[in-house]
Amino acid sequence: MTATDGGIDALKREFDARFTQIAPPRPTSQRFLRVQAGHELLLPLAQVASVLPLPRLAPVPVGRPGLLGVGAVGGRTVAVYGLADLVRGASVIADQPGDRWLIVPSAAPDVAFAVAEVLDLVDIVSSDLASKSQRDGP
């Protein structure tokens, strides 16, 4: 095949044509941190600043629901709440000997949530989230 018989020109046209085709849209997904706190929960990973081993907690003399105490995180004192207690609506300070991990949210780094286990990361396609919320309601 030579340049004069149109072979190269045909290859160039085919090559260029492949770049003009629009790729199908990729489904967008959101990443969640799956934790055990009473039962399995999904926390949006974009809203998690850090996951740390649960520090030693100091009790506080207030009766806030779910408040386990205060702990030191990165040189700061943070209020630590038991996520399981907050989810199920406990009205007293609960002793959570099974809690081993601390979730620090991005929006409020002076508060943290104690969970029993950090299980894994889960990617969920955004359209699946929307269809589930429409099915299940608010």
Please answer whether residues 98 and 81 qualify as being in contact, where contact means their C-beta atoms are separated by less than 8 angstroms.
no
Task: Give the integer Cα–Cα distance in Å for 66 and 72.
Answer: 18
Does the pTM of the predicted model rise above 0.85? no
Please answer whether residues 38 and 96 qualify as being in contact, where contact means their C-beta atoms are separated by less than 8 angstroms.
no
Task: Give pLDDT tens digits for 54-68.
Answer: 999 999 998 788 899
DSSP tag of 58: B
Higher pLDDT, 129 or 119: 119
Backbone phi, psi, residue 69, to 5°: 150, -165
Task: Give pLDDT tens digits for 92-122.
Answer: 444 456 789 999 999 999 999 999 999 999 9
**Domains in the chain, ordered, with CATH?**
29-136 (2.40.50.180)
